[in-house]
Amino acid sequence: MDLKNKNVLVTGSTRGIGLAIAKRFSQLGANVILHGRSQPSETVLADFPEGTPVILGDIADADTIQPVIQALIEEVGQIDVLVNNAGIVKDTLAIRMSSADFAQVVDTNLTGTFNVTQPVFKHMLKKRTGAIINLSSIVGLHGNMGQANYAASKAGLIGLTKSLAKEGASRGIRVNAIAPGMIDSDMTSQLSEKVQANIKDAIPLKRLGNADEIAQTAQFLIENDYVTGETITVDGGLSL
């Protein structure tokens, strides 16, 4: 798929990995639709063409977000690419984790992704074309202390990816996932130098990844028409 003039919806695209993917796809000629819980800043919007659409809403609330997605489809005519990036973390050890915190993370990261995907997937099936990328995590593959809720949600995304890939393949729809490792972000920048050094030492490439490297992987998954049902790990070798 050539991204030029394609309609691309990226959830959670007002910062971090989602913003990097949205910028890259826009630079490649795509008509990007941004999404967030609140209106993006003027600084964020400055990197996109004037009039770039923005949709708002909590993806965990199906009754709110699905009508927004349906209205968007009717307005633009077709969603060619969907990137499900929106997600949250609420970390603590499992023995201390409240049921509410477990449910909120799963409701946003996994159920929320389904809430956005379902109306888009139905539309793609009718059009017999489309590509979907779900942002999982190496935590979804290997687990992590203090992230039982996050790991469960990201592991669920991998199962969702494979199932949708099988359901959509006969109609030309490809569905893949990306599992980032330790990415330089607002969260990692708050860690002490010692903790950051220990993390880098555990990574074979001896550095954190960056959001642009995840965006490069997303571009590959859109442009390669013979890859579906895959989860690509981008972690500097951390999971070796």
13 has binding-site annotation: yes
127 has binding-site annotation: no
Phi-psi region of 126 (alpha: psi -120 to 50; beta: other; left: phi over 0): alpha
85 has binding-site annotation: yes
Residue 56's H or E segment, with its range, is strand 54-56
151 has binding-site annotation: yes
15 has binding-site annotation: yes
End-to-end CA separation in angstroms for the chain:
31
54-56/81-84 β-pairing: unpaired
Among 94, 147, 145, 88, residue whose Cα is nearest residue 113: 88
Q: Provide the 3-class DSSP secondary structure of residue 152.
A: helix
Crossing angle of helices 112-127/62-76, nearest 10°?
A: 30
**Integer angstrom CA distances of residue 10 from 27, 132, 198, 217:** 14, 10, 33, 15
The active-site residue out of 150, 158, 164, 203 is: 150
CB–CB of 136/85 below 8 Å? no
228 has binding-site annotation: no
- The yes-or-no answer on residue 150 being catalytic is yes
16 has binding-site annotation: no
185 has binding-site annotation: no
183 has binding-site annotation: yes
Annotated binding site: 12-15, 85, 150-154, 183
Annotated binding site for NADP(+): 12-15, 85, 150-154, 183
Report the catalytic residues: 150
